Structure 1
Amino acid sequence: MSIQAVVFDIGNVLIEWQPERVYDRLIGEERRRTLFAEVDLHQMNDRVDRGANWKAQVEAMAEAHPAWAEEIRIWHDRWLEMASPAIDHSVRLLRALRRAEVPTFALSNFGIQTFEVGEREYPFLEEFDRRYISGHLGEVKPEPRIYEIVEEDSGVAPGALLFTDDRAENVAVAAERGWQTHHFDGSEGFAERLVAEGLLTPEQAA
């Protein structure tokens, strides 16, 4: 089946998402490892991705772990440093697809408030034809329902969707539903896939 829309994950596809890197810089790798072992910051972030209030979740976690309160608040106060920089080649691919009139969707685990911050910093996040953001939907990858929402809302058949994501488990669920998929491990590889599918020319994908 020919591809009718390209579906992008955002974190580590269009924008680097590396909380550990920021914590290593700010408090040192050894202390960061201890913090992450004692406080499940990623689980906290998962709740935000499901729609919970970002600042409230960070403050609740800081109150629950007073010895780490200052470090936990980094997740709110320095969040933009964790979600940076943009992956420029991927952004060029997104825009090239749009110029070629290929519909583009975003499918991303992202909080309501964090996505608002992201939109202000990265205008290309407003350029998709459709956006499926977990915080607004109350559903997250790799749970099947969020993929089902994309299918229902867009009206595009699963086999006509090409989805790229850096996490293998997210790609696997899409593939199980019949989507065409690309496990993202760098923009060059995705560019080659878009060319191979006839969606972009090599010049457009450069």
Structure 2
Amino acid sequence: MEKAVADSIEAVVFDLGGVLIDWNPLYLYRRLLPDEEAARRFLAEVCTPAWNGQFDAGKPFAEGVAELSAEFPHHGELISAFHTRWPEMLGGAIEGTVAILEELRRAEVALHAISNWSSETFPIAAERYAFLSYFEVLIVSGERKLAKPDPAIFELFLQETGLSATACVFIDDNAENIATASRLGFKAIRFRDPETLRRDLGALGLLSAQSAV
């Protein structure tokens, strides 16, 4: 049964942030604000996920920072840091997931990625994380002016790879992105942690359910 499922899968498609790469604005703002509560409040009320999402969809940082600084002039320096000190938001690779990626690569499974990421900051990650070179097709939202969960970015991926959605496993930590992918026919897996992902991929016959040695 597992082999039959595996034989129907032609590719595994990864999200990056939160799945393979630990990215979190709190890493920076804990340094810039007095305490954890202040950092979380600032990111909930000023440099919000929705504001950051504009950069993922292609908006230039300079434009977004200028607009928000005009709205919150007393926070101008903190807002600017979201761009100028962006690398400090990057943590390490999520090693358990990278190990899974490596194992799939050794098994010659086709690997692709669809990531919500600014075109201005993605080169920083590409230089830091060598495994990003493993992907045959890597769709960066900021470069395409499309972002998940918009179905159009998934459709663009299918067009560029020539794959059908039903032949792809899609892995993402965001529930909305998973819902869209599932509606389009992808075998969608909500990422929670590397151990659970290994079991999920094992159930599809793509790799061992046991940790790689």
Given the two structures, how large is their TM-score scaled by the length of structure 1?
0.91
Please say if 1:3 is aligned against 2:45.
no
Aligned to 1:136: 143
Matched, 1:193 2:200: yes
| In structure 2, C-alpha distance between the alignment counterparts of 1:61 and 1:70, rounded to whole Å | 11
SS of residue paired to 1:52: coil
The answer (yes or no) to whether the contact 1:54–1:114 under 8 Å persists in 2 is no
Contact kept, 8 Å, 2:198 with 2:208, in 1: the verdict is no
Structure 1: runs of 5+ lacking an equivalent: none
Aligned to 2:116: 109
**Which one is further off, 31-40 or 89-98?**
31-40
Give CA-to-partner distance per residue, 1:37-81, whole Å, 9 cap, x none: 542432331111111223443344334422001211221233222
Partners of 1:92 and 1:37 lie apart in 2 by: 33
**d(CA) in 2 for partners of 1:38, 1:203:** 42
Q: TM-score, normalised by structure 2?
A: 0.88
Shift of 1:30: 3.2
Tell me how far 1:198 sits from its aligned partner. Answer: 1.7
CA distance in 2 between counterparts of 1:37 and 1:87 reads 25
Moved more, 43-52 or 180-189: 43-52
Aligned Cα root-mean-square deviation (Å): 1.9
Matches within 5 A, 1:85-100: 85-100=92-107
Q: Which runs of 5+ in 2 are unaligned?
A: none
After the TM superposition, which parts of structure 1 deviate over 6 Å for at least 4 consecutive aligned residues?
A: none
How many pairs are equivalent? 206
Counterpart residue type for residue 6 of structure 1:
V
3-state SS in 1 of match to 2:91? coil
1:164 corresponds to: 171
Shift of 1:167: 0.6
Aligned letter for 2:65?
V
1:150 Cα deviation from its structure 2 partner: 1.3
Change (3 A) 1:64 1:193: same
**Secondary structure of residue in 2 paired with 1:163:** strand
Matches within 5 A, 1:1-206: 2-27=8-33, 28-202=35-209, 205=212
Query: Could you tell me how far apart the structure 2 residues matched to 1:25 and 1:184 are?
Result: 29
